[in-house]
Amino acid sequence: MQLITNSKGKNKTDILFDAVVYLVCLLIFLSIVYPLYFVIIASVSDSTLVSTGQVTIFPKNISFFGYSEIFKDARIWTGYSNTLLYTVLGTAVNLLFTLPAAYVLSRQEFRARRFLMLTFVITLFFNGGLIPTYLLMKDMHMTNTMWVFIIPFCVNVYNLIIARSFFENSIPRELFEAASMDGCTHFKFFLKVALPLSKAVVSVIGLYYLVAHWNDFFTGLIYIRSNNLQPLQIVLRDILLSNQVFSQGAGAGGSAGGYAQQYADQVKYGVIIVSTLPILIVYPFIQKYFDKGVMIGSVKG
Amino acid sequence: MKKLLTGMLALMLGAAALSGCSGGNNTNTDTDAAGGGDTGKKVKLTAIMTKHPLTQEFSKMQWLQEAEERAGVEIEWQEVTADWDQKKGTLLASGDIPDLIVGVNSITDADFSQFPGLFEDMTGLIKDYGPNVQAMFDAKPETKVIATQLDGKIYGLPKYQRFWPETTTRQFINQKWLDNLGLQMPTNWDELFDVLKAFKDEDANGNGDKNDEIPMDFAPTGTVAFGAFMPTVLMGSEGITLTDNSGLGYFVEDGKVKNFFTDERYKTLVAFLNKCFSAGLINPEVFTQDYTKYQSVARGNGETAAVGFTWGWEVTDRVGNTLAPQYASMSPLKVSADSTSKISWSYDYNSLNYGVNAVQMSAQSKHKEAAMKFINELYDPTVSMQVLFGSLGTNIGDNGDGSYSILPPADAAMDPGTWKWTSSWADNGAMYIADSLKLTLGTDMQSVGSQTEPLKAALDGINKDTDVLPSMFIKYSAADNNTMSLNNTGMMSLALSKWSQWITKGGIDAEWDDYVKNIGKTGVDKNIEIIQKYYDDYKKNQ
Amino acid sequence: MISKNLYEHPAQPRAHKKPTVLNTFKRDHQLWIMIFPAIVVIFIFNYIPMYGIQLAFRDYDFSKGLTGGAWRGLFYFRQFFDSYMFADLMKNTVAISLATVILSFPAPIILALLINQVRWKRAKKTLQTTVYLPHFISIVVMVGLLNVLLSPNSGVIGHILSSVGLGDVNLLGSTGTFVPVYVLSEIWQHCGWNSIIYLAALSTVDPQLYDSSKIDGASRWQTIKHVDIPALIPTIIILFVLSMGNVLSTGFEKVFLMQNALNLPVSEVIATYVYKIGIISNQFSYSAAIGLFNTVINFVFLYAMNMIARKSSDISLW
């Protein structure tokens, strides 16, 4: 559409520009797609052939041993449902705590803002270490409960900063002045004006939190004991590492070789697909919020 | 009331133990006796086991269910397969540990000294409730040495698995390639070089391609320490006896502790390997491939072998079932035809057959007697056998005459080694395989035995008294442990990078003196001094 | 300063004093309510455990509790500075993290601008979804992929390189290629994911600006320069300041897994060293001291960068 409306003179450089853009994009696309494709074919090919470089374009000696190995682990379904719960609930809590705080910190007139920002940023660097944190969780009776995934660290300072700087830059200062003349409070302004104008950043921050919950295995590793509370990533990591066992050399305690060797890497690659597929489905829903510009101008008018 | 109960429990345990001693097999009567007094109430325990990732869920292990039953306990297991070190740090530092922790070396001696009061000194409990453990200590006094810490207390119990060979590393050469090219099996480094050269230059595997042969391959070097299946075993040709692979370079010669990283004989070996590498006789990826690839490459392509000369645990494990018949195991080499040096090999018997801290108990446990009772079950010779190989009936057959034999895997496609790891706790478990136990091993262990034959002369020639570093039986103080681990980290970083650099690029002659000086700076002499002190103490008390 | 009364709740009486935290509290009480939960959470979970920092200055003594060990002052710091490895560790750590910060910082910006130029909707969507996928590959598998694809004997990329005459270089095992491989694979894996924030920023550009730029006869390139990039500047500055806080951080797992004996002279970094000294015995105090040293350096860099940013652009973290 735009191409047609352009005048002829500019068209030449613009066509050249477009050509370069598309060419570069194609190269980027290919360089990213091939290794991903490789992961897929490697997950169904004979691992010996994969690691000796005989699988390049088509899968060889196809078998689904890796996937059956992954799904025969009964824990994987508990893992899926736990992770789903932690992710949905956790992300909701994250946003509930982070967005209002980010809005407040974006207000120039908020006197404590610099002091609070600094105290928040300090936590990005300084921490007491794992042991005091663990003791704290234990004292709060959070270890081995689902809450340890949800409540602690529900404000990620990095995300807070990003959200704050978005609020700062995308919501014109005068907007609240005008609104407050009409008797609009901060609560109301935040809910009715600031949030709707910031769909893009809300979805980005939401995505960051969501993926962080989805990929989190450390919390499960340190704080969870019962198998029925473990998230998916712990289960998958266990399965994944079961094929790394040979790396120490079978001799450490007798031969544990040939049989599993052949399929070892299938599990490795299969795990990636099993864990990534669900999150892949979410992305398009979020993507659409920052696909097209939010019309700030129209609000202003 | 509580005292009365414990007293009764002790009595029953004594009775159970007595009947256990008289006839290891009629364990059923034990259960009845215990069950009767206990009025069927089981003691609930919590436990962590660091198991092999292949190992199946514990609820499916029949022998374990039976052992818990007999001990009158019900254990809630947490089965850990990955990232134990990370988990362990917080668990111990927060004091938040379960009644039992099982798994060889899952808790280290250093942990005991760093976390005093966390673990129970089991000395008294063993006397009262652990007759099987006591039996192990009596029959194999060295197991008590392994168990006893510097302060004389017993926090962790060892394992003894008896059947494993004297070395981890066996040496294989492709006999078919030798035959194809009309060559003799080499007996010294010079002949080895010529053979490897022929492997490279000719079409040794006969597939028409002269360039697809990898004459020599060895295991990935690692970045922390050397492992098994490394060419360091060739230093045996120069009279150095490695112990437990000597991953950090320490070895003993005539009662003196040394480190081979600054030894002239190490220099000779590296120079030889550099000569091989420069001639293209060593896999060019030998330092960058991971263990999976190391194993995969040796599996060749169908009937066509890819690797000529290599090291491994057992030949089918190393090259796969298809190619295994092409390979022969090879005796240790001399340096040259006229070399008079005594020939040795890596002596790993201790690390293969003993293990430290296979099971430990929390000092805060509310059911110490019950926990000890369960531990005692594990050390019952027939249970121990099942800890290692799997349940009677499915994994082990009872021959009826007091002897047993390992059954072949139920799934014909699976090798016996994998089956063992899948079925049971295997080598990670707490066990005592008594020397009196009559057990016929599976095919995998039998072939390990036969493939060790060519190394036998060298292994027999080792003076176990003055040339073996008995690391397994030595306990270091916390301070010495710290010093050594700091110094070793620096030393290994330098030594490993030089090792690989000299082999691939050469230059050892020019850099050697500087290198020896730098290794000295990392504190290796201090470490040798420490080890020597402990070694001498150990010898004195022996 | 904006006139105060605009911000006062109509029901509140006017304050006549200078605005301070205290007397603006009434005016801003709603703001305080909104930020209160975040303050509480950060105080409890981040500030309460901070007493653990003492460990860097004390011996670890289990029986006396975390803060009960003997006071050693700077002993553990000195132990690190005097260690045989110190110089190499610092050099390697800075080389890897600085290269990562400098090279991988602009990549997502360029990618976002590029994606923003694609007007064929389907292609844009596909590209966008594809580039963010590698982010989900775990480090273990990522390094596995590198090993397979870069292998000089059998890897696809290894083959491509040898076909253009670069086959002699073993990308996985030389001191010269470790940092490039590390950084490029970082970019490959995270560039798309990191571009999301910039794409979001671009989406807030007022469409009127594009229209007026078109009317002015600006070329596509000029539009990028005068409309898109200025729209990204605040985000770029904030993220750059934050990334400066990483000058002494390298991911542990990836470096450790990519390590081999050949690249050890350049791949031994602080994080892997701390891991290795702890293998035999937990070095709680020593590793806490090294960690604190790291943190302080990082924080100083961030602090300085933030000052520069505030002075020069009026955009800053605090």
- Residue C162 — pLDDT band, cuts 50, 70, 90? confident
pLDDT at A246: 47
- Residue A51 — pLDDT band, cuts 50, 70, 90? confident
In the predicted model, is pLDDT for residue B194 greater than 90?
A: yes
Cβ–Cβ of C265/B497 closer than 8 Å? Answer: yes
For B218, which residue in chain A has the nearest alpha carbon? A249
DSSP letter (8 states) at residue A61: S
Q: pLDDT > 90: what percent of chain C?
A: 47
For B504, which residue in chain C has the nearest alpha carbon? C262
207-236 of A, contacting B, C-beta below 8 A: 221-222, 225, 227
pLDDT in tens, B243-284: 998 999 999 999 999 999 999 999 999 999 999 999 999 999
Cβ–Cβ of B284/C153 closer than 8 Å? Answer: yes
For A261, which residue in chain B has the nearest alpha carbon? B292
pLDDT at C58: 92
In the predicted model, is pLDDT for residue C308 greater than 60?
A: yes
Beta-carbon neighbour count of residue C221 at 10 Å?
12
Cβ–Cβ of C261/B289 closer than 8 Å? Answer: no
Q: Which residue has better confidence, B510 or B227?
A: B510
3-class state of residue C281 by DSSP:
coil
177-196 of A, contacting B, C-beta below 8 A: none
Lookup: tokens for B176: 């078919």
Using CB atoms, pick whichever of C30, C41, C245 lies closest to residue A124. C245
pLDDT at C46: 94
Extended beta strands in chain C, E state: none
pLDDT at B4: 43
In the predicted model, is pLDDT for residue C169 greater than 80?
A: no
pLDDT at C92: 95
Q: Tell whether the torsion through CA atoms of C240, C244, C245 and C247 is positive or negative.
A: positive
What is the least distance, in Å, from the CA of A165 to any CA of chain B?
36
Cβ(A103)–Cβ(A190) below 8 Å: yes
Using CB atoms, pick whichever of C114, C128, C204 lies closest to residue A287. C128
Mention every residue, 6+ apart, whose C-beta is less than 8 A from residue B174: B199, B204, B205, B305, B307, B308, B309, B326, B327, B328
pLDDT at C2: 37
Q: Which residue has better confidence, B326 or B319?
A: B326
pLDDT at A237: 81
Cβ–Cβ of A247/B291 closer than 8 Å? Answer: yes
In the predicted model, is pLDDT for residue B96 greater than 70?
A: yes
What are the distances in angstroms from CA A2 to CA A8, B541, C212, C220?
Answer: 12, 91, 14, 11
Phi, psi at A153, each rounded to 5°: 55, 30
- Identify the residue whose tokens are 């709060």: A140
A39 touches chain C (CB under 8 A): yes
pLDDT at C19: 60
pLDDT at A76: 86
**Neighbouring chains of C at 3+ CB pairs within 8 Å?**
A, B
In the predicted model, is pLDDT for residue A224 greater than 50?
A: yes
Across the range C164-169, mean pLDDT stands at 72
What mean pLDDT is reported for chain C? 86
- Residue A69 — pLDDT band, cuts 50, 70, 90? confident
Cα separation, B25 vs B404, whole angstroms: 12
Beta bridge partners of B102: B49, B359
- Residue C138 — pLDDT band, cuts 50, 70, 90? confident
pLDDT at C3: 38
In the predicted model, is pLDDT for residue B527 greater than 90?
A: yes
Query: What is the full DSSP assignment across B241-272?
Result: --BGGGTTSEEEETTEEEEGGG-HHHHHHHHH
Phi, psi at C69, each rounded to 5°: -70, 165
What are the distances in angstroms from CA B208 to CA B203, B211, B212, B284?
Answer: 6, 9, 9, 22
Residue to mutate among B46, B81, B90, with most A CBs inside 10 A, is: B90
B496 touches chain C (CB under 8 A): yes
In the predicted model, is pLDDT for residue B23 greater than 60?
A: no
* Surface-to-core class of residue C201, CB atoms within 10 Å of its CB (0-12 exposed, 13-18 middle, 19+ buried): buried
pLDDT in tens, A162-189: 999 989 887 887 888 888 888 888 899 9
- Among C87, C167, C179, C176, smallest CA distance to B501 is for C176
Cα separation, B190 vs A253, whole angstroms: 33
A10 touches chain C (CB under 8 A): yes
- Residue A17 — pLDDT band, cuts 50, 70, 90? confident
Cβ(B437)–Cβ(B135) below 8 Å: no
Using CB atoms, pick whichever of B111, B222, B285 lies closest to residue C152. B285
Side-chain-facing half-sphere of B92: CA atoms under 13 Å: 28
- Among B293, B303, B58, smallest CA distance to B176 is for B303
Among B12-21, B229-238, C28-37, C222-231, the range scoring the smallest mean pLDDT is: B12-21
Lookup: tokens for A215: 């990929």
Using CB atoms, pick whichever of B293, B488, B500 lies closest to residue C262. B500
- Identify the residue whose tokens are 């190269």: A27
For B286, which residue in chain C has the nearest alpha carbon? C173
What is the least distance, in Å, from the CA of C245 to any CA of chain A?
8
Across the range B79-100, mean pLDDT stands at 87
For C178, which residue in chain B has the nearest alpha carbon? B288
**List of chain C residues whose C-beta atoms are within 8 Å of the C-beta of residue A172:** none
pLDDT at B24: 36
Cβ(B16)–Cβ(B68) below 8 Å: no
* Start-to-end Cα distance in chain B: 46
pLDDT at B336: 94
**List of chain A residues whose C-beta atoms are within 8 Å of the C-beta of residue C135:** 211
Q: How many residue pairs from chains A and C have C-beta atoms closer than 8 A?
A: 286
Across the range B25-44, mean pLDDT stands at 50
**Neighbouring chains of B at 3+ CB pairs within 8 Å?**
A, C
Cβ–Cβ of C261/B496 closer than 8 Å? Answer: yes
pLDDT at B488: 93
Cα separation, A268 vs A239, whole angstroms: 8
Q: Tell whether the torsion through CA atoms of C216, C217, C223 and C226 is positive or negative.
A: negative
pLDDT at B64: 96
What mean pLDDT is reported for chain B? 88
Among B459-463, C75-79, C273-277, the range scoring the smallest mean pLDDT is: C273-277
Across the range B200-229, mean pLDDT stands at 90
Q: CA B60 from chain center: how many Å?
A: 26
Q: What is the 3-state secondary structure (H, E, C) of B59-89?
A: HHCHHHHHHHHHHCEEEEEEEECCCHHHHHH
- Angle B2-22/B131-139 helices, nearest 10 degrees? 50
DSSP letter (8 states) at residue A244: T
- Residue A10 — pLDDT band, cuts 50, 70, 90? low
pLDDT at B444: 82
Residue to mutate among B118, B285, B286, B492, with most C CBs inside 10 A, is: B285
**List of chain A residues whose C-beta atoms are within 8 Å of the C-beta of residue C212:** none
**List of chain A residues whose C-beta atoms are within 8 Å of the C-beta of residue B86:** 221-222
Lookup: tokens for B77: 């297991």
pLDDT at C114: 93
- Residue A5 — pLDDT band, cuts 50, 70, 90? very low
In the predicted model, is pLDDT for residue C111 greater than 50?
A: yes
Among B161-175, B318-332, C94-108, C206-220, the range scoring the smallest mean pLDDT is: C206-220
* Surface-to-core class of residue B187, CB atoms within 10 Å of its CB (0-12 exposed, 13-18 middle, 19+ buried): middle
Question: Residue B115: which region, alpha, beta or left (left: phi > 0; alpha: psi -120 to 50)?
Answer: beta
3-class state of residue C238 by DSSP:
helix
How do beta strands B250-253 and B256-259 pair? antiparallel
pLDDT at C109: 96
- Identify the residue whose tokens are 């072998």: B305
What is the least distance, in Å, from the CA of A123 to any CA of chain B?
21
Taken as a whole, chain B contains a residue count of 542
pLDDT at B201: 94
pLDDT in tens, A235-287: 888 777 765 554 444 444 333 444 455 566 777 788 888 888 888 888 878 77
Cα separation, B517 vs B520, whole angstroms: 5
Cα separation, A251 vs B230, whole angstroms: 12
B148 touches chain C (CB under 8 A): no
Across the range B52-78, mean pLDDT stands at 91
pLDDT in tens, B103-125: 999 999 989 988 999 999 999 99
> In B109-245, which ranges are continuous DSSP H helix?
109-114, 123-129, 131-139, 141-147, 175-180, 189-201
Residue to mutate among B486, B496, B525, with most C CBs inside 10 A, is: B486
pLDDT at A290: 67
- Residue B407 — pLDDT band, cuts 50, 70, 90? very high
B19 touches chain C (CB under 8 A): no
| Residue B73, H or E segment | strand B73-80
For C197, which residue in chain A has the nearest alpha carbon? A204
Residue to mutate among B113, B226, B261, B288, with most C CBs inside 10 A, is: B288
| Residue B500, H or E segment | helix B478-505
pLDDT at C18: 59
**List of chain B residues whose C-beta atoms are within 8 Å of the C-beta of residue C89:** none
Across the range B204-211, mean pLDDT stands at 88
Cβ–Cβ of A225/B297 closer than 8 Å? Answer: no
Cα separation, B213 vs B54, whole angstroms: 33
pLDDT in tens, B413-451: 777 777 888 889 988 999 999 999 999 998 888 889 999
| Residue A122, H or E segment | helix A113-125
**List of chain A residues whose C-beta atoms are within 8 Å of the C-beta of residue C47:** 123
In the predicted model, is pLDDT for residue B30 greater than 50?
A: no
Phi, psi at B175, each rounded to 5°: -65, -35
Across the range C250-271, mean pLDDT stands at 91
Across the range C77-91, mean pLDDT stands at 93
Cα separation, A279 vs A219, whole angstroms: 19
A171 touches chain C (CB under 8 A): no
Side-chain-facing half-sphere of B303: CA atoms under 13 Å: 3
Cα separation, A3 vs A23, whole angstroms: 18
pLDDT at C7: 43
Lookup: tokens for A300: 């202003």
What are the distances in angstroms from CA C220 to CA A7, A55, C111, C209?
Answer: 13, 43, 16, 13
What is the least distance, in Å, from the CA of C257 to any CA of chain B?
10
